[in-house]
Amino acid sequence: MKYNLSNKDQLFLQDIWIKVKKKLPLVRERVGSAIPYIAVKHRYTDVGSDHLTWWTNGFWAGLLWQMYHATQDSAYLQAARAIEKRLDAALIQTQQLDHDVGFMWLNAAVADFQLTNDEAARQRGIQAAMVLAARYNPAGHYLLAWNGSEKQGQIIVDCFMNLPLLHWASQQLNEPRFAQMATNHAYTATSALLRADGSVNHIAVFNPETGEFEKNLGGQGYGEDSSWARGQAWAIYGLTLAFRDTQDVKFLLQAKQVAHYFIANVALTDYVSNIDFRAPAEPVYRDTTATAIAICGLLELIKYLPTAQQALYQQAAFKMFTALTKQYCDFDPANDELLTYGSAKYHRASDREVPIIYGDAFYVEALLRFLDLDMTIY
């Protein structure tokens, strides 16, 4: 998609693209087919060796596929496919997998199939969709989020981003039930998670036997009734994708409402999000990953809006991208990370304000979207 950008803005983007194209081949050589999570002392290590079913394990592959699409450098393809094959061992550990199989195999196998038409990649994607579909609770019309008896009946806002896997599988198999599950979950989740002011809850709990809604929980933000920024970002992007896949305008209007809330709040912190928009003023904890995800969501959103409505979202997205780039990016080719100060959750110091691989993945997606070089992963 072409954006309404000034010559100065276009030159800024081209300069960043030059830096990214210089850095990422060196990172690719160092990281290779390892599966990274956070960078420690500027190095991504292989969490896949011990935690092959971890929810973030597809993002490095997704970043590699984006770069292959943009540059046609086959070394990106080779590294991405090596990760995809490693994940085969995770695909059979169904009791260890959760609703985030979408994040894992959309970024790995489905992206591969889109670009190369590889049948083995297609089969991996379909198998992952079957794992996700098995989590469907017909009484409550939702997909169970996490494993464990204490988490039965829980759904989370993140799952909006996994629903495209089911829609893709429905198209591939000419089988409507996968798309029906995804759509039913989207209706259930919006009813339970979205608030009237455009903010969202992270977790909703249902009775797993009757399907009745019971309560909301605080999740990875500051606490109950708070406003976890990454959850807001997942909602912007995920609700927009729900509209794309269902054409129900309700989801588009909800995506706009959440977008307005995010934009209003991030404007108060120089266009880079704190971990939680309703956390106490001190201490200040940033989460750049939420900002990067929101940028991608906003740029997806404007695809479905009339030209006259696009400016607000595009301008906000560009301000966020500029703020991330100027304050929180590491373009040094000697260091593995690209986006710094990412935070997984408010109350855990081990992965708070650190480089996280999905921050890099969504930052690169945002850059490539502005350059009209991106591929569709979700």
3-state secondary structure of 7: helix
* Rounded average pLDDT over 220-248: 98
Confidence (pLDDT) at 376: 97
Mean of all residue pLDDT scores within the chain: 97
Q: Which residues contact 234 (CB under 8 A, 6 or more apart)?
A: 157, 158, 160, 161, 293
Confidence (pLDDT) at 85: 98
* Rounded average pLDDT over 232-242: 98
DSSP string of 332-366, one letter each residue: -TTSS-SB--B-S-TT-GGGSSB-BHHHHHHHHHH
High-pLDDT (> 70) share of the chain, %: 100
- pLDDT per residue as tens digits for the range 90-108: 999 999 999 999 999 999 9
What is the Cα–Cα distance from 333 to 330, expressed in whole angstroms?
Answer: 8
Starting at the edge strand found earlier in the chain, the sheet holding 203-206 runs 154-156, 203-206, 213-217
Residue 28 pLDDT > 90: yes
Residue in 183, 220, 186 with CA at minimum distance from that of residue 202: 220
* Rounded average pLDDT over 276-286: 97
Residue 38 pLDDT > 90: yes
Residue in 131, 128, 89, 94 with CA at minimum distance from that of residue 112: 128
Q: What does the block give as tokens for 109?
A: 């196998």
Catalytic positions:
100, 158
* 283: preceding bond cis by omega (within 30 degrees): yes
- pLDDT per residue as tens digits for the range 75-93: 999 999 999 999 999 999 9
Q: What CATH architecture does domain 7-370 belong to? A: Alpha/alpha barrel (1.50)
* Rounded average pLDDT over 250-278: 98
What is the Cα–Cα distance from 58 to 64, expressed in whole angstroms?
Answer: 10
Confidence (pLDDT) at 2: 85
Confidence (pLDDT) at 150: 82
Answer positive or negative: Cα dihedral of 91, 155, 188, 58.
negative
Q: How confident is the model at residue 1 (pLDDT cuts 50, 70, 90)?
A: confident
Residue spans of beta strands (DSSP E) within 101-209: 136-137, 142-143, 154-156, 203-206
The total number of residues shown for the chain amounts to: 378
Residue in 245, 264, 263, 253 with CA at minimum distance from that of residue 161: 245
Confidence (pLDDT) at 37: 98
Residue 242 pLDDT > 90: yes
Confidence (pLDDT) at 149: 83
> Tokens 């706009």 identify what position?
256
